[in-house]
Amino acid sequence: MTVTTTTQSERLIDLDDLTPLIETTTSADPAAVYERLRARWGNVAPVLLEPGVPAWLVLGHRELVTVLRNESLFARDSRNWGLLADGTVRPDSGVGGILAPRDGIYYVDGVRHRHLRRLIDDAFEGIDEHRLATIVEQWCGVALDRLLAEGEADLVNDYARAVPLLVMSTMFGLDAEQSRAMLGHAQRVFQAKGAAGGAALNAQRALIADLIASRRAEPSDDLTSAILRHPSAPTDLDAQSAVSATLILGSEFEVAWITQALRLRLTDPRFDGRAGGRLSASDTLAAALGSTPPATNTGPRFVLADTTLGGRKIWAGDAVVPGILGASAESRGSSDDIWLESGHLSYLTWGAGPHACPARRPATVIAQVAVGEALRRLGGVTLTVPPETLRATGTLWSSVPRELPVRFEAQHPAR
Ligand code: HEM
């Protein structure tokens, strides 16, 4: 028998009626959006990053691993993006502002990436996890004391959006007041559009530049000093790139993980201790990783030469978005993929290849303590709205419940 496979070769600009990528993070059922895309297009589907800006979304496990592990064909550097080069995407517009080329670990490949990556890996390697857990407990305590005094809270905006950035700011060496300022700037970047967002981003960068200057003059026991002390003798610019990428961009997925775990706990009886269940904060976090991976999609790669992927021709200059949720969903139902033999597939939730998350350990400590402390201190915490009315808000990369309004039945003092 002869098996023939056809490669589909339409170009992105020739395809109409495309699904906006943001539907994969804001829909009540992101997995269903992925399934619809797969049914219509196969494992590599055209989507819109914003109106008029198409890209490929990779939905298949095998294709995802191929893209993530092969930076000599699928590069991070957006100078290789056709739509940016031909002016379709302006560097100061919505998606252009996020993806325009810059000197940061998420944006570069090869030697420059490895240099910045080593600074971060080696600094994270030295993290004392007990000290980290204590810092998380302290910041959770500050947030929860305030919520307990009020008797009710929105666990997304009053808690989960604050804790990870405050913790990472402290780990990098900002004092409490500076950490709060960093959070305030981040909230303005998140909410503001145009000039106000730019001003807040500049304020974040200035805070980091001051931190680097001060640790250069007087090293201390924090991640910024560890980066500056690195044997590869990083410049201030290297340190600025490493610190800002990790501090500013790193916590989005963390917020998604904590909020999705709290949502499960509040809406799914299997995770509710009062119903006789015994699932811990870590069990809940593990379940959230499997069902709603914190990184639904990750940052696009830009194709360096014409190639085929999932039976589709991909052209040099196209943008390709690795879809982590799609690969996890596919792997639950398929069996002939060698990568599946490694067992539990939520490992892809942390990415793969040279850009895989360097913060897996500290991210897990932060999430465990943040979810554990909320459940411990808030006692019998109940959602005040019907679960089916909860909506998701999202960036192109991750899905976060818009709010989790709760009240508490019992109040536990700090230890
Ligand atoms: C404190 C929390 C976190 C920090 C500081 C952090 C930091 C980072 C950094 C710096 C990168 C870029 C690595 C590189 O390009 O070489 C990265 C990538 C990534 N992180 Fe994290 N991360 C955090 C939490 C998480 C969580 C909770 C998840 C999901 C479970 C996650 C999933 C990923 C993924 C999938 C990538 C790969 C992106 C890609 O290949 O495009 N991260 N993270």
Specify the pLDDT at position 178. 97
Which portions of the chain are predicted below pLDDT 70?
Answer: 1-5, 192-196, 272-279, 328-346, 410-415
* pLDDT given at position 39: 94
Q: How far is the CA of 350 from the centre of ligand 1 (A)?
A: 7
Rounded to whole angstroms, what are the CA distances from 174 to 182, 183, 395? Answer: 9, 11, 27
Give the span between the Cα atoms of 89 and 52, in whole angstroms.
Answer: 9
pLDDT of res. 64:
95
Structural domains in the chain plus CATH codes = 12-408 (1.10.630.10)
Task: Output the ligand 1 site: residues, CB below 6 A.
Answer: 68, 105-106, 117, 120, 164, 168, 245-246, 250-251, 253-254, 257, 294-295, 298-299, 349-351, 355-359, 362-363, 366
Q: How many whole angstroms from 312 Cα to the centroid of ligand 1?
A: 28
Q: What number does the ligand 1 atom closest to the CA of 289 have?
A: 30
pTM for the structure as a whole: 0.92
Q: Which atom of ligand 1 is nearest to the CA of 301?
A: 41
Distance, CA 8 to ligand 1 centroid (Å)?
33
User: What integer pLDDT is reported at residue 364 of this predicted model?
Assistant: 96
Two structure tokens written together for 325: 């949720």
Q: Amino acid identity, residue 155?
A: L
| Atom 1 (ligand 1) nearest CA | 363
Measured in angstroms, how far is the CA atom of residue 415 from the centroid of ligand 1? Answer: 32
Residue in 332, 245, 320, 336 with CA at minimum distance from that of residue 293: 332
Write out the H or E segment, with its range, that includes residue 251: helix 251-267
How confident is the model at residue 249, as a pLDDT? 77
Beta-bridge partner residues of 56: 46, 320
pLDDT at position 338 is: 43
Cβ-count burial of 122 within 10 angstroms (0-12 exposed, 13-18 middle, 19+ buried)?
middle
What pLDDT does residue 218 have? Answer: 97
pLDDT score, position 150 = 87
Q: Best substitution site from 357, 361, 371, 396 to test ligand 1's pocket, by max atoms within 8 Å of Cβ?
A: 357
Contacts of 119 (CB under 8 A, 6+ apart): 227, 230, 232, 234, 238, 239, 242
> What are phi and psi for residue 177, nearest 5 degrees?
-70, -45
In tens, the pLDDT along 309-367 reads 999 999 999 999 999 998 766 655 444 444 444 445 567 899 999 999 999 999 999 99
The number of the ligand 1 atom at minimal distance from the alpha carbon of 298 is 41
